[in-house]
Structure 1
Amino acid sequence: MPDTMAPSGQTAQGYRFGLRLEERGQVVAVGDGIAWVRGLRSAQMDEVLRFDDGSSGLVFQLGAQRLGAILLSQTHRLTAGMGARRSGARLTVGVGAGLPGRVVDPVGVPLDDLPPPAVETRMPLEASAPAILERDFVDAPLYTGNKIVDTMIPIGKGQRQLLIGDDGTGKSALALDVVANQRGRGVLCVVVLIGQTRAAVAATVDTLRSVGALDYTVVVVAEANALPGLRYLAPFAGCAIAEHWMRHGHDVLVVYDDLTRHAQSYRELSLLLQRPPGREAYPSDVFYLHARLLERSTVLAPACGGGSMTALPIVETRLGEISAYIPTNLISITDGQIYFDSKLFAAGFLPAIDIGRSVSRIGGKAQANAIKRAAARIRLDYLQFLELELFARFGTRLEASVEDSLRRGRLLRELLKQDRLSPLSEAEQLAWLLAYGEGLLDAVAPDQVAATVPRLFAAAGAHRLGLDTPKDAWLAALRAALKATP
């Protein structure tokens, strides 16, 4: 068989015959997104297989007599007895400047009814995490626009911050708020949606488009009805896209929504491939699954590109149980967690972040000095207020100092409330922090906070106040704004 062909319209100079050897196998069984193949003894793990009907698969299990492949694409003609052959290639995804604004699946196929995106090169989905010598310290803040996060649970560029809580408590909403707040900040975003319904995916894309965030965001989607192999590969595809930008010196934010469904897809594939089950029927390497994914998020040293990849993985709990298998795995892998409480959500405290259970292990090192100084006692004051409020429910007589602490605590609770898709700038964060910390809002009733705080924000903008503005200038402007007639 000829191994080369002359291009159309050109001579056959240099055209010669030769042998082309190809190892071929046969499909033994197909079902539930898995194909069992025999006869491909030279196949390697994570190698792409091609089937005669046009379907494709990825080698995921090697056996003495047959191998198991997860299907990446499947036609109705794929049945037992179908021929299979090796491709000799690993699975890659197209990356480059043409991806922002697009919605693609984990193998790069567009899902937004537009032509395929222009790609610069292709990146393997599985890659080693950057070596220690390639990494740098987390020293730049990633502003979320959220009052609670930016002041008490700060996130730095290159950090891995877990969003954890029950279903329907606002985890995805906060993640989208963070993505929306990166507009104009030079941060590229990747949103990975795993196992969600088509309606939920469409709502997320519409939200990103309505706030102008889709211009710098690529959405990687593996819907609930997609093949389990695609749901398993979705976060690795998003990570590969982000890693390419990071290697080229960009700051990137990746949202994995969510890794609970990802672990469930991996468990489904593993059980179908007859791997031995472990705790809660998950395979024993499920910890390594997420560790090798999240370890790729970091800050690169200037000699290695100088970019960063910040990860916001989302995990779901049941009835607030954070000691379950997958949540504890992810807590131990990440650099902190933001915990969402269903009771706070039901009480109308939005975002429903439990400040006592939430922590950022390295973000404070990247926090702006002005905000760090102004927020130094905010967390402690609020936690003390919660204890005093619980004690005050017994109806005992309270001292004047305790009454004052309760009043300031209720004021702070109202200040921390924030609507969706209403991120604050750094100057606006500093405005309310200084006003509260210096007692400028002590005369304001809690039910008047929502009407008073915008005046502080307007003063910060009118006087062009910033993080480097002297504190005296800040206080003078804030006092004038509060004295002015609304």
Structure 2
Amino acid sequence: MASWADEISAIIEKNIAGFGADTTSTASVGTVIAVQDGVARIYGLQDVKYLELVEFPRTGLYGMAFNLEEEAVSCPILGDYTQIREDDEVRTTGRIIQVPVGDALLGRVVDPIGQPLDDRGPIATDKFRPIERVAPGVITRQSVNQPVQTGIKAIDSMIPIGRGQRELIIGDRQTGKTAVAIDTIINQKGKDLICIYVAIGQKNSSIARTRAILEEHGAMEYTIIVASGASDPAPLKYIAPYAGCAIGEEFMESGRDALIVYDDLTKHAEAYRNISLIIRRPPGREAYPGDVFYLHSRLLERAARLNKDYGGGSLTALPIIETKANDVSAYIPTNLISITDGQIFLETDLFNAGQRPALNTGISVSRVGSSAQTKAMSQVAGTLRLDLAQFRELEAFSQFASDLDKATKSRIDRGRRILEILKQPQYQPVSVIRQVMIIYAATNGYLDEVPLDKVSEWEAGFYRFMDANYQDLQNEIIESSIQGRNKMNADQLKKLGAAIEDYQKTAAPREEQKR
């Protein structure tokens, strides 16, 4: 009997001696009491923090603590919520939701929590950033005065975008909003600007097509795609732009320049609305939760240009918003217009009339203005917006007038040629020097004698002629007025005019010279 008791005692002592529980880490434990449309209500989790990752051990899924209520915590689930069951155990992780950041993400396609979606293996980085962060304060910023060249003539000449600016791209569906953003990314090749494209609620085929276009033009080497597909749960769509912004902030705070495209924030607001209605956040105007303005303002305020004491980096934001029937006075469009530093308005009627990009120059504006424009461009395009406005007024008037005086007719003809040179094929950005030369030619009457249907042919030939015969003049203008801080001097303007006349006399096709 004693030997049996000794044996039991020995076993107990052995087990106690081998017990190596880690008492340094603790976790709050809760229980799922309900699951509905991607959101779990959890009882317990007394010490959970706002936006802390919580783990569902049975399924391996994660959620984030979103609504900290007195009796329960509402957690949107970052994955397939149908696997979650009532009474499942939930544990806190002690980690605020974060994403991997750094150069290892360049050329990659990742989901909103930083998991790779391409076939190139895991992300090799040990840097992480929380997706939510307070925007840089006024003291840390400096004025926006360096341009982001989009390569689109109509935008670079009349609605210049600066590094650190927030410029809204707005318009109905199928008017070319994404095309403007993709063209801008393609145009950054060799310009030392890292690009982040955030796809929110898009079809996987659309995201794959965007990636293929960027690869085809050699742009993926400096681009990161953060993708949340249409079939992804609302919580992933909700955190996608914040994750992309955190990735961009890493580059900004390391002294580099980054550009981020949010495509589009309409779907982001819808995802937030879905979550909010389930967790019963109070609705506001048009049944949206009242804090939808704060949703986007705290995202876009993080775009900035830091001063030299803080590294001098910048993060430029191009949010995209879809309107219905060109209604820019709707709730979310007016929110974004008031948050951003200007908007590029793309109009359906102009798009259908063949004006591509379909830019409405009357409503579109950049509140940074010519301070973010090269000197050469501001010099030649200073009156361009006014000329187009006058042209549209005269054109509308001329529809009711049978006879026009010569001055009015010549102004209308020149306006039509200016519109023609502002047309541009997709995925074919134009360098700044070429934009300067063609706008100078159009606004100074050198195209007045060219038939309207020959303007694009004249333009293509002009670029070839200038590259072949006047490369030194182009380099001189680039050095002094595009990279430098000086306007083109009288001698340079005279040489440019002479080069255009030389092209018209010697290289332009003969039939283009007929009236």
TM category, shorter: over 0.9
Query: Which piece of structure 1 moves more, 466-475 or 285-294?
Result: 466-475
Give 1:387-398 correspondences, 5 Å limit: 387-398=393-404
Question: What residue ranges of structure 2 are gaps of 5+ in the alignment?
Answer: 1-18, 481-487, 510-515
Are residues 1:472 and 2:494 paired? yes
Aligned to 2:290: 284
Deviation at 1:74, TM superposition (A): 3.5
CA distance in 1, matches of 2:27, 2:294: 34
Could you say what secondary structure the match of 1:169 adopts? coil
Could you say what secondary structure the match of 1:311 adopts? strand
Give 1:66-145 correspondences, 5 Å limit: 66-74=72-80, 77-145=83-151
Aligned to 2:207: 201
Deviation at 1:113, TM superposition (A): 2.1
> What is the aligned counterpart of 1:176 among 171, 179, 182?
182
Aligned to 1:293: 299
Deviations 1:258-298 (A, max 9, x none): 00000010011000111111111111111011001000101
Are residues 1:63 and 2:69 paired? yes
Maintained 8 Å contact 1:30/1:78: yes
Deviations 1:447-475 (A, max 9, x none): 11011011222233232213336222222
Task: Tell me the TM-score normalised to structure 1 length.
Answer: 0.95
Distance 1:21 1:293, change over 3 A: closer
1:369 aligned partner, one-letter code: K
Distance 1:450 1:367, change over 3 A: same
1:319 aligned partner, one-letter code: A
Identity percentage over the alignment? Answer: 43
Deviation at 1:117, TM superposition (A): 1.7
Deviations 1:46-85 (A, max 9, x none): 1110112211100011112111001113465421110011
Give 1:44-63 correspondences, 5 Å limit: 44-53=49-58, 54-63=60-69
Distance 1:398 1:75, change over 3 A: closer
Aligned to 1:242: 248
Aligned to 2:37: 32
Could you say what secondary structure the match of 1:298 adopts? coil
Maintained 8 Å contact 1:46/1:60: yes
Task: Tell me the TM-score normalised to structure 2 length.
Answer: 0.90
2:190 aligned partner, one-letter code: G
Aligned to 1:8: none
Could you say what secondary structure the match of 2:337 adopts? helix
2:503 aligned partner, one-letter code: A
Aligned to 1:257: 263
Deviation at 1:415, TM superposition (A): 1.1
Aligned to 1:418: 424
Maintained 8 Å contact 1:431/1:456: no
1:136 aligned partner, one-letter code: Q
Asked which structure has the greater CA Rg, the reply is 2
Deviations 1:195-231 (A, max 9, x none): 0011111111111111111110000000011011000
CA distance in 2, matches of 1:242, 1:106: 13
CA distance in 2, matches of 1:438, 1:39: 73
Maintained 8 Å contact 1:183/1:212: yes
Question: What residue ranges of structure 1 are gaps of 5+ in the alignment?
Answer: 1-14
Could you say what secondary structure the match of 2:336 adopts? helix
CA distance in 2, matches of 1:361, 1:75: 44
> What is the aligned counterpart of 2:171 among 165, 180, 195?
165
Are residues 1:483 and 2:505 paired? yes
Aligned to 1:453: 459
Aligned to 2:48: 43
Maintained 8 Å contact 1:187/1:251: yes
Deviations 1:415-449 (A, max 9, x none): 11111011111110111011112221111111110
Task: Name the one with the larger helix percent.
Answer: 2
Aligned to 2:386: 380
The size of the alignment, in residue pairs, is 472
1:166 aligned partner, one-letter code: D
Aligned to 2:218: 212
Maintained 8 Å contact 2:414/2:445: no
